[in-house]
Each structure stands twice: as C-alpha cells, then as structure tokens.
C-alpha cells in the first residue's frame, strides 16, 4: 500500500483501520476521509476533491467504510433517510473511483444485516435470492446495491474490487452509550454501574438472542488482508460463531467487577433471534481467521472504557 484513501475514517472501525495501515506501511500516504473533509453524498464536492487528489498522487487502494447507520430502533423510524444517503455515498464513490483512480483496488465494507433471518451460519451465496431482516431493509438493500455496483463497474470498466461482510464490531474506541449496539451499550452500562454503585443493570430482551461479534483489531486486520489479497467479489469476515446475549452480559459483568443484579427487559427492541456468518470461504481464500476470542476482547474493551472514564 502506497497511497490509500479510506472513507469513513473518523468512525469507530475507520480510526483503527487507518492506524493499522499506518503502522504496517509507515511510508504510505493514508488519506483519512471524514465528512468534515468532503461530503461523499455530494457528487460535485466529491469529484472536485478527487480531482485535487489525482493531481497530488496516484492512489492504489480505496477502502470504503463511509455509511449512515445508527443502532437500536433508529432504522425503523428513518428508512428513507438511510436509503437515500447510503445510495448517494455508494454510487458517488464508485463513479469517482473509476473516473479518477481506475487502477486503484476498491474494497468495500458490508454488513451481515444483508442476510435473511435464518438460524444457521450464512454463506456468501445467501446474499442473493433472499430478503434481509425487515427492520433494516433500507440499509441492507443500499449495501446490496453497493455490491451490485462494484460488479457492474468492474465488468464495464475493468476495475479491481472486493468486499467484506462484517458482523457487529466492538472494541476500544467504540460508542458505549445506551443506544449503541448491544456490546458497546452493555459495557457502558456495567462499567458505569460499578463507578456509580448501581444495584442493577438492565439488559434488553430475555438474553437468549444470539449474535456474532468481531474485535475491532481483527476487523482491521481482515480488511487489510482482503484489500491486499482477495480476488473474489465478497467474503464473510468474522468469527463464525454466535453467543447468547445472556452469556455476553455475564462475561462483561465479570470483567467489570459488577456485583449487582442483571435485570432483563422483554419490552425493549432486540431484532432477530440469531445472526452469524459462515467464514469458511475467507479461510480457504486467504487463510484468515480472527485472533481474539470474544471473552478476551470483552475484557480488553471493558478495561479500556473503565480507564477512559477514570481519565475523564
């Protein structure tokens, strides 16, 4: 990697990815793109910015993470906003790639919400011929459109591209607000409960719903591996295992030192029952697998967040 454009670089995964690329390729020019730098949803603004970049360097990698997404029930109430903005982001960056840096390798980051609501591990083949989970239909379809767009641009213009599908990613630098995704929200609740001496921590649902989670350092490692070595259209990038929210809550409780009681709230929105990825293809294609066991990653993240509160 010599000149790398990373969109969504101010986000949780983007920050870790940019730092890891700079660590591995110290001589590389890594352009960390945020909305403050350029609005990718604005075609004219993006193309003007890319024209300036083309005059300064020859980009060899574009890694596209930029997306509009919020956890919880926000997608249920804002599907049109999510669909509109994400389609603009994706269409504009694809057109900009081919117009300004057609020789660059294009790598996009997708979400496992694109898969149908089925209880088994999803192979990449299930991206087609199935409907995604209903409450995230707008976001999922915008991500599918990105995958279709990559195929179309590669077929017509010969661009090199690949995609990775991520499960929910967690780790240092995550959001730990109560309306964050489940791991970030739970870590925030437990660590703050210890600090404040609270007697209980509320967990949404009954604890039986199952999810797959990937540590952010492993996500960055896998994205780099795919950008450098993948010649296939899409790869699932995850652990290939799902854990119950009840088990995860217990691990976080232990890691944080919380001595109170867990209270389950069945009236809260929790989404589908089970979600996990089949990761056999990425193992076969790249020999890649995640390094961080979930329990270890949770402990590292709890410690990181607790330390950040101490410094606040």
Please give the radius of gyration of the chain, using alpha carbons only, rounded to the nearest integer: 20
- Quickly count: other Cβ atoms within 10 Å of residue 201's Cβ: 22
- CATH numeric code, 3-169+212-236: 3.40.50.720
- Quickly count: other Cβ atoms within 10 Å of residue 65's Cβ: 21
- Show Cβ contacts of residue 287 under 8 Å, excluding neighbours closer than 6 positions: none
pLDDT score recorded for residue 268: 72
Spatial separation of the C-alpha atoms in residues 33 and 47, rounded to whole Å: 14
Which has more pLDDT, 289 or 69?
Answer: 289
pLDDT score recorded for residue 20: 98
Q: Would you say residue 242 has pLDDT above 80?
A: yes
Q: Supply the mean pLDDT for the chain.
A: 94
Query: Among positive and negative, which fits the CA dihedral 287, 288, 293, 299?
Result: positive
Mean pLDDT for the stretch of residues 203-223: 94
pLDDT score recorded for residue 271: 66
- DSSP summary character for residue 211: E
- DSSP summary character for residue 278: -
* Residue ranges of domains in the chain: 3-169+212-236, 172-211+242-275+292-311
- 3-169+212-236 and 172-211+242-275+292-311: same fold? no
Spatial strand order of the sheet with 105-111 comes to: 29-33, 3-7, 61-64, 105-111, 160-166, 235-236
Task: Give me the half-sphere count of Cα atoms (radius 13 Å) on the Cβ side of residue 74.
Answer: 12
Kind and range of the H or E run holding 143 = helix 137-157
pLDDT score recorded for residue 270: 61
pLDDT score recorded for residue 312: 58
Mean pLDDT for the stretch of residues 96-109: 98
Q: Would you say residue 223 has pLDDT above 70?
A: yes
Mean pLDDT for the stretch of residues 102-115: 95
171 pLDDT tier (thresholds 50, 70, 90):
very high
Q: What is the pLDDT of residues 4-54, one digit of tens each?
A: 999 999 999 999 999 999 999 999 999 999 999 999 999 999 999 999 999
Strands of 39-185 (E only): list them: 61-64, 105-111, 160-166, 168-170
304 pLDDT tier (thresholds 50, 70, 90):
very high
Hey, what CATH topology would domain 172-211+242-275+292-311 get? Answer: UDP-galactose 4-epimerase; domain 1 (3.90.25)
Q: Are 61 and 4 in contact (CB under 8 A)?
A: yes
- The pLDDT > 90 percentage for the chain reads 83
pLDDT score recorded for residue 269: 62
pLDDT score recorded for residue 267: 79
Tokens representing residue 19 in the block = 């730092």
Where do we find the tokens 């390094």?
A: 291
Query: What phi and psi values does residue 213 have, to the nearest 5 degrees?
Result: -135, 145
Kind and range of the H or E run holding 244 = strand 243-244
In this prediction the pTM is 0.95
Tokens representing residue 292 in the block = 């961080």
Spatial separation of the C-alpha atoms in residues 236 and 280, rounded to whole Å: 8
pLDDT score recorded for residue 77: 83
Q: What is the pLDDT of residues 245-289, one digit of tens each?
A: 999 999 999 999 999 999 998 877 666 778 899 999 999 999 999
Mean pLDDT for the stretch of residues 56-85: 88
pLDDT score recorded for residue 72: 66
Closest by CA position to 5, among listed 67, 61, 71:
61
Q: Are 75 and 82 in contact (CB under 8 A)?
A: yes
DSSP character string of 61-104: EEEE------STTHHHH-HHHHHHHHHHHHHHHHHHHHHH-TTS
pLDDT score recorded for residue 107: 98
pLDDT score recorded for residue 194: 97
pLDDT score recorded for residue 281: 98
């Amino acid at each position: 990697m010599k000149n790398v454009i990373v969109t969504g670089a101010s986000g949780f995964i983007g920050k870790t990815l940019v730092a890891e690329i700079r660590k591995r390729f110290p001589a590389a020019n890594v352009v960390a793109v945020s909305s403050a730098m350029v609005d990718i949803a604005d075609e004219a603004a993006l193309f003007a910015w890319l024209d300036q970049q083309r005059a300064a360097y020859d980009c060899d990698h574009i890694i596209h993470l930029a997306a509009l997404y919020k956890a919880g029930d926000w997608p249920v109430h804002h599907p049109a906003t999510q669909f509109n903005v994400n389609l603009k982001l994706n269409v504009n960056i694809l057109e900009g790639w081919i117009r300004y840096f057609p020789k660059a390798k294009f790598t996009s980051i997708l979400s496992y919400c694109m898969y149908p609501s089925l209880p088994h591990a999803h192979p990449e083949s299930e991206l087609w011929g199935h409907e995604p989970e209903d409450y995230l239909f707008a976001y999922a379809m915008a991500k599918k459109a990105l995958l279709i767009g990559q195929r179309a641009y590669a077929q017509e213009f010969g661009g090199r591209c690949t995609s990775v599908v991520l499960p929910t990613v967690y780790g240092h630098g995550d959001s730990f607000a109560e309306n964050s995704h489940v791991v970030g929200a739970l870590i925030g609740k437990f660590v703050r409960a210890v600090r404040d001496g609270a007697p209980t921590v509320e967990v949404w649902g009954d604890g039986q719903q199952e999810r797959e989670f990937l540590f952010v350092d492993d996500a960055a490692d896998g994205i780099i591996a795919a950008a450098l070595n993948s010649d296939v259209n899409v790869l699932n990038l995850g652990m290939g295992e799902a854990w119950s929210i009840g088990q995860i809550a217990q691990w976080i409780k232990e890691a944080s030192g919380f001595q109170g009681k867990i209270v389950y709230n069945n009236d809260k929105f929790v989404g589908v029952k089970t979600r996990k990825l089949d990761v056999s293809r990425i193992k076969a294609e790249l020999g890649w697998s995640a390094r961080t066991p979930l329990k270890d990653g949770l402990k590292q993240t709890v410690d990181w967040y607790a330390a950040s509160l101490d410094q606040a």
